[in-house]
Amino acid sequence: MYNAEGVGISSMSRILGYSKGTDIRRLLYLNSLIIRSIYHEVNQIYEVDEMETYVWTKKPEGFRWITYAINRKTNQVMDVSIGARNKENLGKVINTLKSYNPIIY
């Protein structure tokens, strides 16, 4: 609930009274329970973008990239990949889009 409202890990830990590590483990566990939706759409236009953020530290090892694809018509998020900025993570998003037979991405 707190994370959905934009409260950071440190604030959640302070409010809930748990360590940051415990909060992160719980978030990762909840993330593993999410079932991705299956979309049956073809011939759509998709937009792929990325943004940079950091985890714990602003040093180079703390930076992560969020790569995502959205349907331009419906604004539905089609896929998301979080990690290093490399071909592997971008490829995950692109391969998902290819399965939808897009007009353009």
Q: Answer yes or no: pTM beyond 0.85.
A: no
Spatial distance between the Cα atoms of 36 and 99, rounded to a whole number of angstroms:
15
**Cβ within 8 Å of residue 77, ≥6 positions away:** 68, 69, 70
Structure tokens at 83: 């990690």
Q: What is the pLDDT of residues 49-99, one digit of tens each?
A: 998 887 777 776 778 888 999 988 888 888 888 888 889 888 888 988 888
Q: What is the pLDDT of residues 10-31, one digit of tens each?
A: 887 888 888 888 888 887 888 7
Determine the 3-state secondary structure of 87 from DSSP.
helix
Residue 74 burial class via C-beta count within 10 angstroms: exposed 0-12, middle 13-18, buried 19 and up: exposed
Q: What is the pLDDT of residues 32-45, one digit of tens each?
A: 887 766 667 778 89
